[in-house]
Copies of this chain bind each other. A is one copy, B any other.
Amino acid sequence: MSVFDPECTSREVLEHATGRWGALVLASLADKPLRFAEVRRQVTGIGDRMLSQTLQRLHADGLVSRTEHSAIPPHVTYALTGIGAPIADRICELIDTIYQQLPAIVAHHYACTDTGSSSVAPDADAATAQAAVK
C-alpha cells in the first residue's frame, strides 16, 4: 500500500489535506485557532458550504479539532490537532517553496505567452539550444 494506491488511507488523507481547499484551510489554522467566519475571511473565495465540508473532512481525519465555547455569545473554534499540526507545517513549507519559485513561474508564463505556445518546456528549450550550438 502506498499513497499511489486508491485503497490506501494515506491517499484519501492527502486528497483532503490538499484538494481544492484543504491546503488553504490547514494553512489558515497554522498560527492559531480560528472561528468559522475567521477561516472564511482568510481563505478568500471559499463558500460557507464548501468550508463546512472541508472542515468536516479534516475533522473526520483527526487533523482539525472543533471546540464549542459556552462563553457569551457561544462560539466554536477550529484548531490543528497533534496529527494535523505537522501536516500543516509541511503545507506551509510547500507554499513557501512556491513563493520562492514564483518569479521563475511568472517568467515562464510570460515566455509561453510571448511565443504563443507552451508545448516545449524550458529544459527542452535548453536542450534544443545546446543541440543548435553543437
Nearest B residue to A59 by beta-carbon distance?
A: B121
- How many chain copies does the complex carry? 2
> A10-23, CB under 8 A of B: which get 1 and which 0?
11011101111011
User: Which label, helix, strand, loop or mixed, suits the secondary structure of the A interface?
Assistant: helix
Nearest B residue to A123 by beta-carbon distance?
A: B65
Q: How far is the CA of A15 from the CA of B91 in the complex (A)?
A: 12
Report which A residues bind B (CB closer than 8 A): 3-6, 9-11, 13-15, 17-20, 22-24, 27-28, 42-45, 56, 59-68, 79, 81-83, 86-87, 89-91, 93-95, 97-102, 104-106, 108-109, 112, 118-124, 127
Q: Apart from A67-B124, A68-B124, A83-B101, list 20 A-B contacts with CB within 8 A.
A: A3-B98, A3-B99, A4-B27, A6-B44, A9-B105, A10-B98, A11-B24, A13-B98, A13-B101, A15-B20, A59-B118, A59-B121, A64-B121, A66-B120, A66-B121, A67-B127, A79-B123, A81-B123, A82-B104, A83-B105
